[in-house]
């Protein structure tokens, strides 16, 4: 017996497809209608007239029950109990195509929020593959060139109520596919997601720093590059685990200390490994150049040598640094050779400082952990620290994680050989931390996302991860020749100008500085190194913690004396 065949229009027929996409039977539209209703409650005049009339008259001609509904569950119950005969339903013929297109715009917005980072430009050397993602393009959602000038509702976006599709798409590309790649849609807390969306989307295009701020950024890039070049020529072949390729870290840490000092932080404890540590000691904490040079030349005084005996890129330091909010005590914890093992020590130190200050709101002391990309993905203690981050006995109000992601672990650069995840940051999703990948060659973007991350940590008291995507100009240490093991990567690095050079050129093109002024900034820094000047406005020796003197009786004591 043959089965009768349907002779009507196929499902692919445009009319039937539009009918289905605009139907209440399509589950996608449930959220669409709920969002329309939420807009109706907050800003009814932002809705098309037919929808405003629909909600006004939904329940027997009275909106009272609807207006009293506050949650989505209440909204659903109210809609379910409403009389369908009383509703003034917009014409299907006039609305079907519009609903379909509006749904497509909603799906496009969500696609960028979820997967925009896959096409973001945060790799300064173009080594990390960008993943072509079909649903980031309007055509995938049935939106054509003729729709680009059509005005659509934008209520999923934290921006104007209605915009042409062309502007919506440009905003999404700018926010989610520029120098910053953002991962936050794995977070289940809607308040946290909405907060990030508003900070990213409402402020686009992001505010350009003032000329004075741009000059300050250039100064810190100059400091970072200048120290490395000076050490490279003066102490040829000696290990220093250069920061070259990741110089934006210094501008980033300066911004972090100043920003948090302004917002009430009194103490910051930093934990980091060897990469860039000497640069942080001199250019952030104010260790004198002469003291560092003595360590390179093995000329330290006997007392200090006997105290530790450790290598120069493991030593700790602390300073009181001036900020608009007052002095901030910044301590760099000593670093054992075992990567990441310092993390729980730093977290415990911060917890103790909070307890000492009776800082039960966790607002006066904070932890900053600086990781390598391979170590963050590979060391189990990272996951253990994250697991403790929200536990009551170990909670410190959130840690700021910064990854110096030079895209290589010792001699392993292919992620398929070093980990089983696309990014080195995936483990942070276990605590629903927001993750921001940022191009280290765009220092203005680095500072923008640093401020955003710090504000998120303070607002929600959660860990935040900033993945500073950069490169390593030299080998694992300065005695290695990386072109032997990574010929393709280093052929790209050798032709890449430094972050400072690129940023100086940008400021010259913008008429912020002249080439002569840029050269003078570099010359002045070299002079400061040679004259043993303190590089940062640190107030060393002034006790703000009340504990500095407690250690003095133990220093230089002959313990074998009777």
Assign 544 a pLDDT band (cuts: 50, 70, 90).
low
289-296 vs 211-234: helix crossing angle, rounded to 10: 30
Assign 11 a pLDDT band (cuts: 50, 70, 90).
very low
So what's the pLDDT on residue 485? 87
Coil, helix or strand at residue 337: coil
Helix, strand, coil shares, percent, the chain, to 5: 50, 10, 40
So what's the pLDDT on residue 216? 97
- Percent of the chain whose predicted confidence (pLDDT) is above 90: 57
CA dist 226 to 244, 283, 370, Å? 10, 10, 21
First CA to last CA distance, the chain: 110
pLDDT tens-digit readout, 172-229? 999 999 999 999 999 999 999 999 999 999 989 998 999 999 999 999 999 999 999 9
Give the DSSP letter of residue 318.
E
**Residue 27 confidence (pLDDT) above 70:** no
- The residue among 464, 267, 452, 271 whose CA lies nearest residue 363 is 267
Q: Which of 9-13, 155-159, 407-411, 437-441 has the lowest mean pLDDT?
A: 9-13
Mean pLDDT of 14-25: 51
Compute the distance between CA of residue 130 and CA of residue 449 in angstroms, rounded to an integer. Answer: 21
- The residue among 121, 161, 112 whose CA lies nearest residue 141 is 112
Assign 1 a pLDDT band (cuts: 50, 70, 90).
very low
**Residue 89 confidence (pLDDT) above 70:** no
| Overall CATH class of domain 211-542 | alpha beta
So what's the pLDDT on residue 195? 96
**Residue 85 confidence (pLDDT) above 60:** no
So what's the pLDDT on residue 12? 47
So what's the pLDDT on residue 23? 54
Pairing label, strands 435-439, 180-183: antiparallel
pLDDT tens-digit readout, 223-265? 999 999 998 888 877 878 889 999 999 999 999 999 999 999 9
Q: What is the mean pLDDT of the chain?
A: 85
Phi, psi of 550 (to 5 degrees): -65, -20
Q: Which of 66-80, 308-322, 485-499, 545-559 has the lowest mean pLDDT?
A: 66-80
- Percent of the chain whose predicted confidence (pLDDT) is above 70: 80
Assign 31 a pLDDT band (cuts: 50, 70, 90).
low
So what's the pLDDT on residue 151? 93
The highest-confidence range among 74-88, 256-270, 273-287, 328-342, by mean pLDDT, is 256-270
So what's the pLDDT on residue 375? 92
Assign 7 a pLDDT band (cuts: 50, 70, 90).
very low
Q: Which of 131-140, 217-226, 320-329, 525-534 has the lowest mean pLDDT?
A: 525-534
Mean pLDDT of 317-336: 93
Q: Do 183 and 427 meet the contact criterion of CB atoms below 8 Å apart?
A: no
Phi, psi of 92 (to 5 degrees): -65, -40
So what's the pLDDT on residue 212? 98
| Element (DSSP H or E) covering residue 449 | helix 443-460
So what's the pLDDT on residue 3? 42
So what's the pLDDT on residue 534? 78
Give Cβ neighbours of residue 172 (< 8 Å, ≥ 6 apart).
Answer: 108, 109, 112, 116
Who wins on pLDDT, 70 or 142?
Answer: 142
Domain with CATH 3.40.50.970 in the chain: 211-542
pLDDT tens-digit readout, 437-493? 999 999 999 999 999 999 999 999 999 999 999 999 987 777 778 888 888 888 898
So what's the pLDDT on residue 76? 56
Who wins on pLDDT, 537 or 402?
Answer: 402
**Residue 58 confidence (pLDDT) above 70:** no
């Amino acid at each position: 017996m043959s089965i009768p065949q349907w002779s009507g229009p196929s499902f692919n027929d445009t009319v039937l497809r539009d009918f289905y996409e605009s139907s209440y039977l399509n589950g996608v539209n449930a959220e669409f209608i709920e969002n329309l209703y939420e807009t109706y409650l907050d800003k009814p005049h932002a809705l098309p007239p037919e929808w405003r009339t629909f909600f006004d008259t939904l329940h027997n001609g009275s909106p009272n029950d609807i207006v009293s509904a506050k949650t989505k569950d209440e909204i659903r119950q109210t809609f379910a109990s409403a009389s369908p005969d009383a509703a003034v339903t917009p014409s299907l013929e006039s609305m079907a195509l519009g609903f379909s297109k509006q749904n497509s715009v909603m799906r496009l917005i969500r696609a960028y929020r979820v997967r925009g980072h896959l096409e973001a430009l945060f790799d300064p050397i173009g080594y990390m593959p960008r993943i072509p993602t079909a649903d980031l393009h309007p055509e995938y959602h049935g939106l054509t060139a003729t729709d680009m000038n059509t005005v659509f509702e934008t209520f999923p976006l934290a921006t104007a109520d209605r915009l042409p599709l062309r502007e919506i798409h440009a905003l999404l590309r700018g926010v989610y596919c520029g120098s910053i790649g953002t991962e936050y849609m794995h977070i289940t807390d809607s308040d946290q997601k909405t907060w990030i969306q508003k900070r990213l989307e409402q402020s686009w295009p992001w505010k350009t720093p003032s000329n004075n701020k741009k000059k300050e950024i250039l100064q810190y890039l100059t400091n970072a590059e200048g120290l490395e070049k000076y050490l490279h020529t003066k102490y040829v072949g000696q290990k220093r685990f250069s920061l070259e390729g990741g110089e934006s870290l210094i501008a980033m840490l300066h911004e972090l200390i100043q920003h948090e000092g302004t917002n009430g932080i009194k103490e910051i404890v930093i934990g980091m490994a060897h990469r860039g540590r000497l640069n942080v000691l001199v250019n952030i904490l104010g260790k004198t150049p002469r003291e560092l040079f003595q360590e390179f030349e093995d000329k330290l005084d006997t007392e200090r040598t006997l105290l530790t005996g450790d290598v120069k890129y493991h030593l700790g330091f602390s300073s009181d640094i001036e900020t608009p909010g007052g002095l901030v005590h910044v301590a760099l914890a000593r670093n054992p050779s075992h990567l990441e093992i310092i993390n729980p020590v730093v977290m415990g130190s911060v917890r103790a400082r909070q307890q000492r200050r009776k800082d039960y709101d966790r607002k006066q002391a904070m932890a900053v952990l600086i990781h390598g990309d391979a170590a963050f993905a590979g060391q189990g203690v990272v996951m253990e620290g994250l697991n403790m981050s929200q536990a009551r006995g170990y909670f410190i109000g959130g840690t700021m994680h910064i990854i110096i992601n030079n895209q290589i672990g010792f001699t392993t650069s292919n992620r398929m050989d070093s980990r089983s995840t696309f990014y080195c940051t995936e483990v942070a999703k276990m605590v629903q931390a927001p993750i921001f990948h940022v191009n280290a060659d765009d220092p203005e973007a680095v500072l923008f996302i640093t401020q955003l991350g710090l504000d998120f940590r303070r607002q929600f008291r959660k860990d935040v991860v900033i993945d500073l995507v950069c490169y390593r100009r030299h080998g694992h240490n300065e005695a290695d020749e990386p072109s032997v093991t990574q010929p393709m990567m280093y052929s790209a690095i050798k032709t890449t100008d430094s972050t400072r050079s690129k940023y100086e050129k940008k400021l010259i093109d913008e008429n912020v500085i002249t080439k002569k002024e840029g050269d003078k900034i570099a010359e002045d820094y070299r002079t400061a190194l040679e004259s043993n000047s303190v590089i940062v406005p640190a107030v060393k020796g002034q006790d703000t913690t009340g504990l500095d003197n407690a250690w003095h009786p133990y220093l230089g004591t002959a313990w074998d004396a009777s």
